[in-house]
Amino acid sequence: MGAQAIQQRVREMAAEISRDYDDLDTPLILLSVLKGSVSFATDLSRSLTIPVNFDYVACSSYG
């Protein structure tokens, strides 16, 4: 999948999320796992048409 196809799908997802949560009384909370999904969450939030609050979670694995 190329970069343009990914960008298009992110815009489609943002449109779906914006439509589904358009009637919220408070901003949507966009929770991102640090490092791995920050770029995706940022791109997604730019395409959303509803108010959004960002929050981040750091995860560690212990084997």
Query: pTM (2 decimals)?
Result: 0.83
Instruction: Place 1 in a pLDDT band, splitting at 50, 70 and 90.
Output: confident
CA dihedral 16, 18, 22, 26 (to 10 degrees): 130
Instruction: Place 19 in a pLDDT band, splitting at 50, 70 and 90.
Output: very high
pLDDT tens for 23-63 read 999 999 999 988 888 889 999 999 999 999 999 998 888 86
Which residues contact residue 46 at a Cβ distance below 8 angstroms, ignoring those fewer than 6 apart? 14
